[in-house]
Structure 1
Amino acid sequence: MGWLGLDDTDHLGGGCTTLTMHRLLASLPHGVQLIGDPSLVRLYPMAKARTRGNAALSAELNVHIDPDAWLAWLESYWSSTIEPLAGQCTASTHAARPQVPSDPGLVWYESKPSEEFYRKAVRKEVVLDDGPAPAWSKGGTGKIGAMAAVAWSGHATTWEGIAWRDESKQSRRLDEEALRALDRDERLFACRDPRQGRGLLAPRGASPVLCGIRGTERSAVADAMQTLLTAEGTEPASGQRVFRTNQGSGDHLRPPIQATIESVDVIQGGHVALRTDRGTWLAFAPSGLIREVASRLCPGDVVQGLGLQSTKPGREGLHLEALQHLSGPLRNLRRPTCPACRKRMKSAGKGQGLRCTNCDHTDDDRWVGDEVVPSGWVQPPLDRRRHLAPDMSTWKPEPLLDRNNAPTSS
């Protein structure tokens, strides 16, 4: 028994690590069997050399052949099939971030490493030397993700069924009636964007993936794959497989931070910068309700935020993935109405309280207003969330970070 990890054969021109792992597992020599489902593990979303989906793969295997013969097979498969995938790089047509050439890594462990390295790799930038030493490995920086995928314990598991297509430049064809049936299954998630009525199962651009269906139960995902792939309006798939995943786990997020708003600024691009007593928080324009709630905040408001810290020039701060408005000063301040005639009272002059101009009733100088209604957690639209983003309506975040120990943004 052992664990195999793979990462970084992705590139925007059609490279796909899930397909590479699928083909490897389909090619295993006689005497080596897959145990259960392989794992698809999303890692730190801000990693400098991240791939398109920033996912690595791992699989638990039963090896009933001579250990030297197994390692020889891995060497041969690496040299003939995976190593040639290195150095592929395709520029993005819609994103400014420079693309990094593929640098595959393949690792083999005879005993499962501690989850500690996964926890690091999903929350921050790590280097190769940080990882647990494998029994055998080949390749470059892809070994980092491969190690982390093996180290993932499988807690908070969700599932994704992925189907691949033969190379084609044609638009993907998925049966609309079958898609509507999938929308009604509450065990599936991130299938369709309700704002636009657009399916989220098929990637855009050059990718061999035909579709990916995510869910909280394996049986639901497997059944949905069968429903969609056998439907009349769906194009033929060249292969399919179910993966267990950490998608929707929120593992990349640290506990929420509670802060008080000091100022609110709309910056270039329509984004909202919240200056707080815990640093700068950024609500980006595509984040939907997060930006909407952020734009209505005012000094003195108490909020909680979840997100990742960035040091990118011009975008320094906490990049919000969830936000909730807890309390704050009264809104729509106004003078109270006269208790005698119900007319709005006015100031009688400095230090002279309030006076009703209709009946001369007097009162103490004060303002009334609308109480803040807590917003609850708000998140970006489905098509703008990270793969790791949890559903805040059901997810239970860790306790608030202690103010004295919590990191703050600049």
Structure 2
Amino acid sequence: MKQYIHIGLDDIDSPYGGCTTHFASLILVELIKKFRVEPIDYPNIIRLNPAVPWKTRGNGSLALRFRINNYSVDEVFEYVINRLYDYLNEYSKNWSIHSQPVVSILTGEPPAEITWFSKKAIQDLVPLDLALRIASKVEGFKFKALTGKNRGLIGSMAGIGYRMIDTDYTYELIAYRDPSYIGSVRKVNEYSVKKMDQLYGEETILNYDYEIDKPLILPKGPDPVLLGIRGERSDILYEAFKTLDIDEPVPLIVLFRTNQHTDAHLREVSSIANIHPYMCIKVRGVVSRKPRRIVGGHVVFSITDNSGSIDVVAYEPTGGFRNIIEELEVGDVVEVMGITRPKHSGLRLTINLEKIRVVEVRQKTIYQNPLCPKCGVRMKSAGRGKGFKCIKCGYADKKLTKIVVETTRKLQPGYYEPPPRVFKHLMKPLKRIGKEKSFFPKEYRPINFIWMNGSIFA
């Protein structure tokens, strides 16, 4: 009898090596070969709350979804656990000190408790004991913590529960390095990345930052990833990849479906009073304190609603985005999007600004001295209650008053975003507005999504 299986993986990577997507890719290939599993979705990358202080590098979990036949769930589960031990010992130095990897498995469709938990883990801070309580109650769910510590349960359970069948999603092609190259400079021609972006930029996401003339698809750490190309359609990513000039072996390429660049982390809150640390929020307010630069080059302003006020910070790495923020005036209505941080560095509870929507700009009124009706020169005040006098021709008039002028604001209503280089995994670029998706089948057999040594494997 065929059974539906969901495997969740988390906390496999560390600063010293290893990568959750890499292990997921390798084990999926092995499961297809050894157990003849039938995938019902692309492998999923689920990015979780980026505000969590103890997150891994990208705070991402992995989910593999497939049918099995002629093998038991326990056989598959034990095989994945044993192969993960092998992987960590090979790729991650002192992994038991630096990470808390967990493998979770669920038979059947994720129940409401797990789908609720997954959304909460993307938008808010979730305690480990909540994950443990849910794990103990859900029939068909079990997990293995490889170090005996359970932190990775949060991500592995959230990955299983976030199916993206009625939410927005994107795709990512990840190319992996030959083990002998890991730790060395990635041999990808940067000009070819720019060329690829010019050819496929409409259907791909954040390939290149033209402001600093740097590619964004190449990671920096000692992990096994060579590069990652993100986009709207699965079929276009391999075509884009083939245009790159790469001077090292690429033994494995895998296509993932993911919640990256969807703003899935942003939760709309009705009032500032409902905001607490480590949330990912979207909130509307009125600018109550004009933006100012502080030590470090960061720009801070405050917004208020009828429940309270909060500081908003555009940090120095956002570059020219800060100049836009400095155009805000007291009284402007804005919608700010970002993650919240507790009191720090002399600041109170703050929102780290990811994007801003200027809803309404307050008209700026200035008062000017009148022009001389005889010679056209700007007049000067003759004293309180004495009107104005022209210093050129001597004309004076006690009845003249200042002229009220409504100026046009440089800042106009609309969305504004920082430069590509500071985008985090979940932040949605403005170019994606209108491209959002809202449906994916519960059961879908992907094809042409795994390449091994240049040939299609599955």
TM-score normalised according to structure 2 size = 0.76
Residues 128, 154 of structure 2: 8 Å contact kept: yes
What residue in structure 2 maps to residue 109 of structure 1?
A: 106
- 1:70-103 CA-to-partner distances (Å, cap 9, x unmatched) read 313312431452487399689xxxxxxxxx8211
Q: 1:187 aligns with which of 203, 220, 226?
A: 203
Give the secondary structure class of the aligned counterpart of 2:430. Answer: coil
Give the secondary structure class of the aligned counterpart of 2:74. Answer: helix
Q: Where in structure 1 are there 5+ consecutive unaligned residues?
A: 91-99, 397-410
Residues 367, 405 of structure 2: 8 Å contact kept: yes
Q: Counterparts in 2 of 1:92-131, with a 5 A limit?
A: 101-110=98-107, 111-114=109-112, 115-131=115-131
Give the secondary structure class of the aligned counterpart of 1:160. Answer: strand
Give the secondary structure class of the aligned counterpart of 1:377. Answer: strand
Q: 1:197 aligns with which of 213, 219, 223?
A: 213
What residue in structure 1 maps to residue 361 of structure 2?
A: 327
Give the secondary structure class of the aligned counterpart of 2:196. Answer: helix
CA distance in 1 between counterparts of 2:263 and 2:371 reads: 49
Q: 2:342 aligns with which of 286, 311, 329?
A: 311
What residue in structure 1 maps to residue 301 of structure 2?
A: 274
| Greater mean deviation of Cα atoms: 359-368 or 306-315 | 359-368
What residue in structure 2 maps to residue 158 of structure 1?
A: 170
What residue in structure 1 maps to residue 377 of structure 2?
A: 343
Please report how far the alpha carbon of residue 32 of structure 1 lies from its aligned counterpart in structure 2 after TM superposition.
Answer: 2.1
Please report how far the alpha carbon of residue 355 of structure 1 lies from its aligned counterpart in structure 2 after TM superposition.
Answer: 4.5
Residues 2, 112 of structure 1: 8 Å contact kept: no
Please report how far the alpha carbon of residue 240 of structure 1 lies from its aligned counterpart in structure 2 after TM superposition.
Answer: 1.1
CA distance in 1 between counterparts of 2:161 and 2:386 reads: 71
Structure 1 stretches of 4+ with a deviation exceeding 6 A read: 86-90
Please report how far the alpha carbon of residue 34 of structure 1 lies from its aligned counterpart in structure 2 after TM superposition.
Answer: 2.1
Give the secondary structure class of the aligned counterpart of 2:317. Answer: helix
What residue in structure 2 maps to residue 12 of structure 1?
A: 15
| One-letter amino acid of the structure 2 residue matched with residue 43 of structure 1 | L
What residue in structure 2 maps to residue 75 of structure 1?
A: 78
Q: 2:256 aligns with which of 240, 243, 259?
A: 243
RMSD: 2.7
CA distance in 2 between counterparts of 1:171 and 1:65 reads: 44
Q: Counterparts in 2 of 1:10-409, with a 5 A limit?
A: 10-28=13-31, 29-67=34-72, 70-82=73-85, 85=88, 101-110=98-107, 111-114=109-112, 115-131=115-131, 132-133=134-135, 135-139=141-145, 140-154=150-164, 155-167=167-179, 168=181, 169-176=183-190, 178-184=192-198, 185=200, 186-228=202-244, 231=245, 233-254=246-267, 255-277=282-304, 278-314=309-345, 315=347, 316-325=349-358, 326-330=360-364, 334-338=368-372, 341-357=375-391, 358=393, 359-361=395-397, 362-368=399-405, 370-375=407-412, 376-395=414-433
Residue 3 (structure 1) aligned with residue 30 (structure 2): no
Change (3 A) 1:393 1:175: closer
What residue in structure 1 maps to residue 440 of structure 2?
A: none
Change (3 A) 1:178 1:60: same
Residues 164, 211 of structure 1: 8 Å contact kept: yes
- 1:229-261 CA-to-partner distances (Å, cap 9, x unmatched) read xx4x43211211000111110111233423223
Residues 352, 365 of structure 1: 8 Å contact kept: no
| Greater mean deviation of Cα atoms: 11-20 or 326-335 | 326-335
CA distance in 1 between counterparts of 2:356 and 2:156 reads: 32
Give the secondary structure class of the aligned counterpart of 1:220. Answer: helix
Count of residue pairs brought into register by the alignment: 383
Residues 5, 66 of structure 2: 8 Å contact kept: yes
Q: Where in structure 2 are there 5+ consecutive unaligned residues?
A: 268-281, 435-458
